[in-house]
Structure 1
Amino acid sequence: MSFFDKVKASAGIGHAKVDTRLNETKVRQGGLLTGEVLIVGGSVEQKINSIFLSVETSVLVENDDRKYRQNLQIQRVKVSDAVIIAAKEEKALPFSFTLSHEAPITSGRKEVWLDTAGDVSFAIDPKDKDFIEVSGTEVAEKVLEAINQLGFTLKSSTNLKSRQTKSGLVQEFEFFPGADFRRHFTELEIIFISDIAGTTVYVEMDHKAKGLGGLLAQALDMDESRISLRFEKRDPLGVTEISRELRTVLLDNVR
């Protein structure tokens, strides 16, 4: 590469472009994400030192009585070591990795995405963002269906920072109670913390939500939670069984 070509690349002129192509944009927590990273050479030969995929979302934070959203990296996966890409050359690098169990359920909203970043000599780092739709683990989906069967209505779901997870994220679901529970409490809060073996469901019943995201996320960070249920993958339960167990737990713990 001539000195003039290097100068052009360093200014971002004619640099390589990176594009991630997913085989499927819908994936379950703990499921497999596959696809390829396509590199298209610019007007000069370049060396890409490495390529990474980053799974990201946004979390709601509160500081000095001000609420705002902040991007948070859930996991980072290396796709490739150093690659030389010639001018106008195209290279496809396949990838496959397991999505973190802590990626939040998107519930139809595009809140989780892949950022593609290449460490490129003499060039502006190319970036590529691809949104994915994340469904819960089998247990989480069954619990959500059981909550629906019990007459609860989803109020909101919020991504919050937490010290209790590897990613630093928990997703808190808030529900309005149905007729059978309305006289006992005004809001139900649920947090799922899943791993390869199963899912723990943390539950809080509020008479009045306080602070950012209610009470449950705060309680977890203080290592406190009045109610939790553990469901193992090796002992699968049906929605009706989970609904029955959840109903018993809630009524046994009303204040």
Structure 2
Amino acid sequence: MVFKRLLGSLGVGGPSVDTVLDSGAVTPGGTLSGQVHLEGGNADFTIEHITLELVARVEAEHHDGESEGVVVFHQHVVGGGFPLAEGEQRSVPFSFPLPWETPITELYGQGLGIALGVRTELGVAGAKDKGDLDPLAVRPLPAQEAILEALGQLGFGFKSADLELGHIRGTGQQLPFYQEIELAPPPQYAHQVNEIEVTFLSGPAGLEVILEADKRGGFFSEGHDTLGRYTVSHHGVEQTDWNAEADGWIRRLVEHRASHGAHSSYGSHADFSHGDHHHGDHRDDHGHRSGPGMGTAIAAGAAGLAVGVVGGMVAAEAVDEIGDFFEGDEEEGDEG
């Protein structure tokens, strides 16, 4: 899908821009490449800069409820400082790495309902126009895929995924938002937890895996959230028994009753820090967003749908078009 628009700041007759990404999904930390195609207008212009922005539709919680907006989480200048003659056609190739914490938008080719895009800003004669928007598909890293596969094999079912504005305390989080993948528990845990939320914070050396259990309350106790955090290397993924690893994580998370802030270490693959938290108290709000928008989460339909089932993870319809998420967003909704 390509949105090709004239440079609005210069009106009819200005240059047009058409960005085409190379086919296929990329991974967090992987290389995004493609071509920016320019077509001159009815006069000669100087292209001052061509900047690609990575944008995401993000949710924010605040005192008045929830809102949605568009966050710019990376910018990369791919060219500029050259003349573009009347009617001239020129292509500018680009290639740059995605941020390691870029959210995943699909698993086994099935969309998760996360809206990411690449927006092209063209600078001409002192004017700027964000005139081209293309959807960005991101597949999981091997460790991310292995963990989600293991959770699926353990019977957890995909519910939804979204992006939350804010920071998770005690982590090395770099972006102003984080991704939550919500999973429905299998029968053996259904009486103890409502859902499990998984967050991946990727980096060059490995992943921080944050698991949050939304615990059910009993007759004499209120429900509460429990948080566990693990570190996983990018290396040795194929040599790890992820079913056993994930099962151990979940068991400790669900059964944990220790006081807030206790720390311990388990095994060779995971560092575990945990404590009982009320919902949201391990996160810091960051920034703001303006204006309502379409929700980014999609339901899976059946609670028992396994994450690990190839080609059958999402039973509901995928997000219609990325343009519906970003068309008409206001500039004050952007976060640099």
Range of TM-score over shorter length: 0.7 to 0.9
**SS of match in other structure, 1:144:** helix
Q: CA deviation at 1:163?
A: 2.8
| Residue-by-residue CA offset, 1:176-200 (whole Å, 9 max, x unaligned) | 1002222332211111000111111
Determine if contact 1:74/1:102 at 8 Å carries over to the other structure: no
Residue in 2 that maps onto 1:207: 215
- Structure 1's 205 and 124: CA in aligned 2 closer, same or farther, altered over 3 A? closer
Q: CA deviation at 1:208?
A: 4.9
Flag as ranges the 4+ runs of structure 1 deviating above 4 A: none
Determine if contact 1:25/1:131 at 8 Å carries over to the other structure: no
Determine if contact 2:205/2:233 at 8 Å carries over to the other structure: yes
- Structure 1's 16 and 30: CA in aligned 2 closer, same or farther, altered over 3 A? same
Match of residue 192, structure 1, among 185, 197, 200: 200
**SS of match in other structure, 2:188:** coil
The alignment status of 1:250 with 2:250, answered yes or no, reads yes
Residue in 1 that maps onto 2:121: 117
Determine if contact 1:75/1:167 at 8 Å carries over to the other structure: no
Determine if contact 1:203/1:226 at 8 Å carries over to the other structure: yes
- Structure 1's 208 and 65: CA in aligned 2 closer, same or farther, altered over 3 A? farther
Q: CA deviation at 1:37?
A: 0.6
| Residue-by-residue CA offset, 1:181-222 (whole Å, 9 max, x unaligned) | 22332211111000111111111211259xxxxx87xxxxxx
Residue in 1 that maps onto 2:280: none
Q: CA deviation at 1:97?
A: 0.8
Q: CA deviation at 1:79?
A: 0.2
* Pairing of 1:52-201 with structure 2 (within 5 A): 52-107=51-106, 108=111, 109=113, 111-121=115-125, 125=129, 127-164=131-168, 165-201=173-209
Return the alpha-carbon distance in structure 1 between the equivalents of residues 195 and 114 of structure 2.
25
Structure 2, unaligned stretches of length 5 or more? 1-7, 218-223, 257-336
Residue in 1 that maps onto 2:278: none
Matched letter for residue 17 of structure 1? S
State percent identity of aligned pairs: 28
Determine if contact 1:38/1:90 at 8 Å carries over to the other structure: yes
Determine if contact 2:57/2:114 at 8 Å carries over to the other structure: no
Residue in 2 that maps onto 1:21: 20
Structure 1, unaligned stretches of length 5 or more? 1-8, 210-214, 217-224
Return the alpha-carbon distance in structure 2 between the equivalents of residues 74 and 178 of structure 1.
35
Determine if contact 1:110/1:131 at 8 Å carries over to the other structure: no
**SS of match in other structure, 1:243:** helix
Give the TM-score taking structure 1 as reference length: 0.84
Return the alpha-carbon distance in structure 2 between the equivalents of residues 130 and 71 of structure 1.
14
| Residue-by-residue CA offset, 1:127-166 (whole Å, 9 max, x unaligned) | 1000021111111111111110010011111101123522
Give the TM-score taking structure 2 as reference length: 0.65
Q: CA deviation at 1:228?
A: 1.5
**SS of match in other structure, 2:151:** helix
**SS of match in other structure, 2:244:** helix
- Structure 1's 39 and 193: CA in aligned 2 closer, same or farther, altered over 3 A? same
- Structure 1's 84 and 242: CA in aligned 2 closer, same or farther, altered over 3 A? same
Matched letter for residue 181 of structure 2? F
- Structure 1's 86 and 110: CA in aligned 2 closer, same or farther, altered over 3 A? farther
Which has the higher relative contact order, 1 or 2, with Cα contacts under 8 A spaced 6 or more apart? 2
Matched letter for residue 205 of structure 1? A
